[in-house]
Amino acid sequence: MISTRNIQFSYGKGTEFNFPDITAQRGETLLITGGSGKGKTTLLHLLGGLLKPQSGEIRIEDTNLPTLSDKKLDRFRGQNIGLVLQQSYFVESLSVEENVVLASWLATGRQAVQKARQLLEQLGLKDQMHKLPSQLSIGQQQRASIARALINEPKLLLADEPTSSLDDENAFIVADMLSGLAKQYGTALVIVTHDQRLKDRFSNQITLS
């Protein structure tokens, strides 16, 4: 589970964010919405340990992220946090399967090949495994990046506008997959979005203002 308390963050002059406290249990999905400039992505990066807050607590299970050193944070992020972005990035020279395996190696030092295949199969990418990421469609790339985010069975899965570049059909497929897999792996899922389609789909919402 993830819970935050009194997070404050500032990029320097002028812009200062005070985020509401959030909580998401294992297997639960939380939608964070809000207009642009309200700090949606900033909050997501804070939750993912990519940014450090000026003050406040971000607890994932028993770990308080802001207290970790840079090096420990890298490790913790690799093992416990999965990230799905609006646009998917891959190591272009590696195949889809290798990209997913790489994520397991970076986090644990072991190459979970079997698990990667199983995940990709589950996400309907059985025939795309050995292609290069650039040969996949946007929707397929998005699913591949979900497989990568889940390979280490993270405690927290973060998704930043995961559906905004997809058509209706694919958007619902991806949304269903995310919430379904979160339940299956007992992962807390936090989605940041302004996508109306998702707002209708998930009831547990927080709006930043």
Partner 1 sequence: MITKIAWRNIWFKPLNTLLSIILLTASVAIITLLILLQNQFEKKFNSNIDGIDLVLGAQGSPLQLILSSVYQVDAPTGNINYTEAKKWMDHPFVETAIPLAFGDNYRGFRIVGTTPDYLKKYDAKIQQGKIFSTNFEVVIGSAVAEKMKLKIGDTFFGSHGDSEEGEVHKDHAYKVVGISAETGKVVDNLILCNIQSVWAMHDHDHAEGEEHSHDEHEHHEAAGEVHNHDEHDHDHENEEAHNHTEEIQISEEGKEITAVLIKMKNKPALLSWQFMIPMNTKMQAASPGKEINRLFGLFGIGLQALQYLAYGIMLISGISIFIALYNTLKERKYEFALLRVNGASRFQLLALVLIESLLLCITGFLFGTIVGRIALVLISGSSEEEFKMSFNPLEFVWEKEGYLFLLTIFVGILAAVIPAVKAYSLNISKTLANA
List 1, 5, 74, 170, residue binding partner 1 (CB under 8 A): 74
- Are 88 and 141 contacting, i.e. CB atoms less than 8 angstroms apart? yes
Which residue in 54, 69, 49 sits closest to 18, CA to CA? 54
CA angle 81, 86, 89 (to 5 degrees): 75
List 22, 68, 85, 113, residue binding partner 1 (CB under 8 A): 85
List 22, 50, 68, 129, residue binding partner 1 (CB under 8 A): 50
List 86, 122, 164, 205, residue binding partner 1 (CB under 8 A): 86
Pairing assessment for the beta strands 188-192 and 156-160 based on DSSP bridges: parallel
CA angle 195, 198, 201 (to 5 degrees): 160
User: Which two tokens mark 145?
Assistant: 């990046």
Place of tokens 């058509």: 167
> By CB under 8 A, what part of segment 150-209 binds partner 1?
160
Least spacing, CB of residue 82 vs partner 1, in Å: 9
Least spacing, CB of residue 75 vs partner 1, in Å: 6
Q: What are the DSSP calls for 142-165, one per residue?
A: HHHHHHHHHTT--SEEEEESTTTT
Least spacing, CB of residue 89 vs partner 1, in Å: 4
Question: Among residues 103 and 188, whose Cβ is nearest to partner 1?
Answer: 103
Quote the distance between the C-alpha of residue 139 and its chain's center: 16
Q: What is the x/- site pattern for partner 1, positions 113-152, by CB under 8 A?
A: -----------------------------------x----
Q: Is 87 in the site for partner 1 (CB under 8 A)?
A: yes
Place of tokens 């406040």: 56
List 77, 115, 143, 155, residue binding partner 1 (CB under 8 A): 77
List all residues 6 or more positions away from 187 whose beta carbon is below 8 Å from its beta carbon.
26, 27, 82, 150, 153, 154, 155, 156, 157, 181
* Torsion angle of C-alpha atoms 192, 195, 199, 64, degrees rounded to 10: 0
Residues binding partner 1: number (CB under 8 A)? 31
List 8, 15, 54, 93, residue binding partner 1 (CB under 8 A): 93
Instruction: Please report, as ranges, the residues that interact with partner 1 according to CB under 8 A.
Output: 41-42, 45, 48, 50-51, 70-71, 74-75, 77-79, 83, 85-87, 89-94, 102-103, 105-107, 111, 148, 160
